[in-house]
Amino acid sequence: MIFIIEDDLTMAECIKKACSPHPTRIFFNCYDAITAINHHLPQLIFLDILLPGPNGFTLLHELASYIDTAKIPIIILSSIDFTHQDLSTYGVIACLHKDSFTPKDIKAHVSAYIQ
């Protein structure tokens, strides 16, 4: 299962389509995502940083706090440039800029982490 945590419905649906045929769930905030993660660990997370309520950094910190969730690979989706920051300690495997990533980029990451 792939979790997409993105508050923009159009963006979330585009990511979901690029993840096909793998099962996905879309969450529009961190509260709903963390509740779902407590019941089922995803194989991969696509995470927007600028979310309403607790932001993506709050979720990254929460996930890094537990052994089982710290191992989930996370791909940041943001309009903020994170290329010079090391977020790997939070399980971040890539940072994709919302203005330039393509469905092909999503598919490449999915195929690299989902068997």
The pLDDT, as a whole number, for residue 85 is 62
The two beta strands, 24-27 and 44-48, are unpaired
pLDDT attached to residue 87: 80
User: Which pLDDT does position 84 carry in this prediction?
Assistant: 44
Whether omega before 103 lies within 30 degrees of 0, making that bond cis, reads: no
Q: Name the CA radius of gyration of the chain, rounded.
A: 13
Tell me the one-letter amino acid at 82.
Answer: F
Contacts of 66 (CB under 8 A, 6+ apart): none
* 25-34, 36-45, 79-88: least confident range: 79-88
Share of the chain above pLDDT 70, in %: 96
Cβ–Cβ < 8 Å for 6, 34: no
CA distance linking residue 26 with residue 52, whole number of Å? 15
Q: How far is CA 97 from CA 1, 3, 47, 65, 71, in A?
A: 23, 18, 12, 26, 23
Q: How large a percentage of the chain has pLDDT more than 90?
A: 77
Mean pLDDT of all residues in 103-113:
94
Average pLDDT over residues 29-49: 96
Tell me what the mean pLDDT of segment 68-94 comes to. 83
Q: What is the spatial distance between Cα 97 and Cα 81, in angstroms, rounded to a whole number?
A: 7
